[in-house]
A and B are shown apart, each in its own frame.
Chain A
Amino acid sequence: MAVETQRTSSPTLPKTPSGIRGLDEITLGGLPRGRPTLVCGAAGCGKTLLAMEFLVRGATEFDERGVFVAFEETAEELAENVRSLGFDVQRLIEQDRLAIDHVRVERSEIEETGEYDLDGLFIRLGHAIDTIGAKRVVLDTLETLFGGLSNETILRSELRRLFQWLKDKGVTAVITAERGDGSLTRQGLEEYVSDCVIVLDHRVVENLSTRRLRIVKYRGSVHGTNEYPFLIDETGVVVLPITSMGLNHDVSDEFVSTGVSKLDAMLGEGLYRGSSVLISGTAGTGKTTLASHMADASCRRGERCLYLGYEEPANQLVRNMRSVGLDLRPWIDKGLLHVHAMRPTSHGVEAHLIGLYRLVESLRPGLVVVDPLTALFHAGSTVDAQSMLTRTLDFLKARQVTAVLTSLSHGGDHLERTQAAVSSLTDTWILMRDIELGGERNRGLYVLKSRGMAHSNQIREFLLTERGIELQEAYVGAEGVLTGSMRVAQEARERAAALTRQHEIERRKRELDRRRQALEAEIASKREQFASEEEELMTLLDEDRAAAEQAARDRTAMGRSRRAGAPATDGQRQRTPGNKRQTTEK
């Protein structure tokens, strides 16, 4: 819980870190060292606790011992009261790191006569300081003296002397006082304590109580001048801002997945680690589902995720996400996912954000989901919420925690406008919207802005299926952007057209095949014809040759017979030219 506080604005004014979270940031280092600080406020606004924490932190974190002079409560009561804040006062007393002196002033048993001074108090205080070597002193509530002693003239001069005496002692003192009408304190103690005056306030605005702290005066030092909300919770006082006000965070070039691959593609590669994402949309557009996907993706990477739900309890979230195929239960069981569900009105806005701060400190998550962010605006004024939000985002960014904020837009609102200008604070803005077309509402999603990323400018249709979120390329064509069943119908038409074309092609192919077959058959038959003609010719030639040979034999035979004197027959003459042709051919 180390607080970076050694940021002194002026080297001349040494400061004592109070150790109270946030206070040291506002005072730029702490309370003026060796001087008294006045803490005033109405009853019940936390003066005593603040003072006690100053001492306890001093003793435990800065090795500065402290003396608590209690005018109103006994040591036992005090120890009891701050035990709920985790302060073990009894142990500190046993270790001599803290001393409590209860100064009881009972008017009824005191009679005043003549001159007196408050040396008794000085001696007691001095004794307590010297015994343990205290560097810090608290006087709670000094004005009780005015109730116990009637000689105001003496009292005032003695108080003046007391403050001077405290300065001379070199102790850093916190003096608490009740707030008076028209003045900071009932008895005008601010006259005496002129170095640092802190006013605490506890006010109820729209039925929600908010504690505020303001530094009215800090002589010799720059300080935050605003009213800062603060909170008393189970670990003490926390003043917002809880982080510095600068804008110099480390930035990461690492991408983390949103858990929806198509969305990652739309964004480029995913989200930058430590960036903030705003998911805005009207009711029922799937903001929680998308945020849950991001939480799921974080758990899959093995990074813890903090889910702050202001609308539904953890079990309901788990059940609902199961219906879209997202089982968060194992992550919860493994301790990776922490779902904190509460009603936004259960605390003031700063209480929520301090709660967030504390959870982030203890869990060290990689991703924080605030669902919905807009719920916080019901827990306080818009101005408060916005300033809180700025600080929270700064805080998360400084810790490289990716923030996912959902924002509910109302029907009448312009969709591209968020409450309290949240959008300007976030790095990436994903807008979910209903697209009403063809008598139905469908979900559309687009990336409105994404700092430092080449993101898609397309509207995608966003489907919640049993297997989680699916992003469909919206149908964009001659008939405009179509979604839902119109897109489905259009797609069906296109499928039918494609099918028809396919059939046509197949038909043509068959036709061609048929023709090719016919052609080939024709070729085959012609070739057959040709072959038979050729065969016929060959047969003829063979016959002819056989005939010629026969003729030759016949002539020989005839020649032999001529010698017998027999003339050639007509048939024998007719064959003579063939015989001649044969010879010419040779």
Chain B
Amino acid sequence: MKAEQHAPSPLSESVATEGPEVWELRLYVAGKTAKSVAALENLTRLCEREMPGKYKIEVVDLLVHPQLAKGDQILAIPTLVRKLPQPIRKVIGDLSNTERTLVGLQLRPAEN
């Protein structure tokens, strides 16, 4: 059901490590907008820094696969969905605020 589209950046190569914890992330975009590109860049940078080798990023372009928006209840673009570990978390926006992204992904506890 999932259509995978990997970003061309080498950093976005799916990297799986031998640890039990694999972060399965999916980024929904709608075409190559500035926001989408920024979001993907921000995400990859963050992942490389926080959990190198333990993550997997899947990029879904809704312009190509509009039917996929329903499954993950996508409204806003870009939306990052943490599929694993459960429960599902969503971060919307271009992920320019790293702290908030980390809170959203529950890599950091919320400040307040």
Contacts and interface: CB of A to CB of B under 8 A. Distances in A.
Interface string B90-101: 111111110011
Nearest to B76: A116
Interface stretch (B5-13, B15-23, B62-70): B62-70
A583 interface: no
Given A111-B89, A113-B91, A115-B96, 7 more contacts: A111-B104, A113-B96, A115-B94, A119-B30, A120-B62, A120-B75, A127-B67
A126 B95 CA distance: 26
Contact of A113 (B28, B73, B100): B100
Nearest to B93: A114
Contacts of A120: 28, 30, 62, 69, 74-77, 79
A519 B63 CA distance: 135
A124 B66 contact: yes
Contacts of A112: 91-93, 100
A110 interface: yes
A124 B91 contact: no
Contacts of B77: 116-120, 123
Contact of B62 (A110, A115, A123): A123
Interface of A: 101, 103-106, 109-121, 123-124, 126-127, 145, 148-149
A114 B94 contact: yes
A120 B35 CA distance: 13
* Contact size range, B: 20 to 34
Contacts of B78: 116
Nearest to B97: A113
Nearest to B87: A109
B3 interface: no
Contacts of B30: 119-120, 123
Contacts of A148: 75
Given A112-B100, A113-B97, A123 B66 contact: yes
Closest 9 pairs between A and B when the two form their complex, measured CB to CB: A111-B104, A114-B96, A127-B66, A114-B93, A114-B94, A119-B77, A120-B74, A113-B100, A119-B30
A347 to B, nearest CB: 41
Contacts of B63: 123
Contacts of B90: 109-111
B75 A121 contact: yes
A289 to B, nearest CB: 66
Contacts of B97: 113-114
Contacts of A119: 30, 62, 76-77
B51 interface: no
A111 B76 contact: no
Interface in B26-84: 28, 30, 35, 38-39, 62-63, 66-67, 69-70, 73-79
A105 B95 contact: no
A116 B35 contact: yes
B35, B70, B73, B76 pick with most chain A CB within 10 angstroms: B76
Nearest to A104: B73
Contact of B94 (A105, A116, A118, A123): A116
A149 B66 contact: no
A113 B76 contact: no
A126 B66 contact: yes
A147 to B, nearest CB: 12
Contacts of A149: 75-76, 92
A101 B94 contact: no
Contacts of B62: 119-120, 123
A498 B62 CA distance: 108
Given A105-B75, A109-B87, A120-B30, A115 B70 contact: no
Nearest to A101: B70
A304 B87 CA distance: 65
A268 B94 CA distance: 86
Nearest to B105: A111
B84 to A, nearest CB: 15
A113 B93 contact: yes
A116 B36 CA distance: 9
A167 B87 CA distance: 38
B66 A113 contact: no
A103, A106, A114, A124 pick with most chain B CB within 10 angstroms: A114
Contacts of A118: 75-77
Contacts of B100: 111-113
B89 A109 contact: yes
Given A109-B88, A109-B89, A124 B74 contact: yes
B91 to A, nearest CB: 5
A494 B73 CA distance: 97
Contact of B101 (A103, A106, A113, A124): A113
A119 B63 CA distance: 9
18 contacts: A103-B73, A109-B87, A109-B90, A111-B89, A111-B91, A111-B100, A114-B35, A114-B38, A114-B39, A114-B95, A116-B94, A117-B77, A119-B76, A120-B28, A120-B74, A124-B66, A126-B66, A149-B92
Contacts of B79: 116, 120
B93 A115 contact: yes
A111 B110 CA distance: 11
B69 to A, nearest CB: 4
B83 to A, nearest CB: 12
A116 B66 contact: no
Contacts of B75: 103, 105, 118, 120-121, 124, 145, 148-149
